Amino acid sequence: MKTICGWLFFLNLFFIADMAAQISGCTDPLSKNYNPEATINDGSCQYKRAAIRPEFSKKLDEKLHETSGLIFWNGKLWTHNDDKDTVIYGIGTISGNIQESYGLKKVVNKDWEEISQDSSYLYIGDFGNNVGGNRTDLHILRIEKKSLAINPVIDTISFRYSDQANLLIPSKANQTDYDGEAMVVSKDSIYIFTKQWTSKKTALYSLPKTPGNHVAQLKTVHDIRGLVTGAVFLQAESTIVLCGYSKHLKPFLYLLYDFHGTDFFTGNKRRIKLRLPFHQIEGIATQDGFHYYVTNENFSRKPFINKTQKLHKVDLSSFLQNYLKAKTKE
């Protein structure tokens, strides 16, 4: 008994010493407040303002005038429109030309806002909700990848928001907090980022990625200072890049990285301005984690503004390269 107590005593001392050796702080050398002695990232990093221009921009086919979500899969970028059209389009990463397309039968596109994926399925979010904020038919289509070219097998994941109590009274157009816009998929869950029109914040919800009726549980609300419209997730690297725009249509990217598990806002948070004024950025995807593709839908306010639908490529290597390379060595 004395031997066991002795071992427990020394283990306790070791645990206390180890905890004392851990220092919380900003661990990102690119930040303004980097602490080289910090061993635990506490999410406190602050950054200088940054802005980038696209490496190139390509006009998209007229069929994609309302392009919304975007993913990279099977050597192509895949996108869809956000109203009525039930076709998904595969486009070239350099030309932006439509190279392949699949029509999804027996489904309706009420307001498709996002597309995401895992190894077996595509997920399309029919959860746009900006008109009254009180849709009762919010859902995500789950499409089996291997069946897509022949006869797509499609399931439905229906949900409601855990904190939305009253669906009977609509909000005014573009004033709701329950407008789903961006989505990522993990091993067992789906995460939805909403566009909170008035506060310019985003709420993060989680729900199972299995067919059925679910309640999307509120995880957190974060002040992103803009309207989130798309997301891409590098799960192994604990990295998410969001895209969106301000109320004056100034687009931005929002980097989340070095977070804990699926608590996406606990790590580094960096906002980067995209020098594409009046472009309504809607989708984002990446092939390698360093270079990203974003799309904007057609936006016109005559006689002064006429921005056609385009594909843009941006380089985020200078912001993410050191972190991502370090993650691959772990």
- Enter the DSSP assignment of 138: -
Query: At residue 296, does pLDDT exceed 80?
Result: yes
Q: Quick check: 124 pLDDT over 50?
A: yes
The CATH class given to the 57-328 domain equals: mainly beta
- The structure's pTM equals 0.93
Question: Phi, psi (5° rounding) for residue 145?
Answer: -60, -45
* pLDDT for position 305: 84
CA-CA-CA-CA dihedral for 310, 270, 129, 212, to nearest 10 = 110
Q: Which residues contact 15 (CB under 8 A, 6 or more apart)?
A: none
When the pLDDT of each residue in the chain is averaged and rounded to a whole number, the result is 93
pLDDT at 289: 97
Residue 328 has pLDDT above 90, yes or no: no
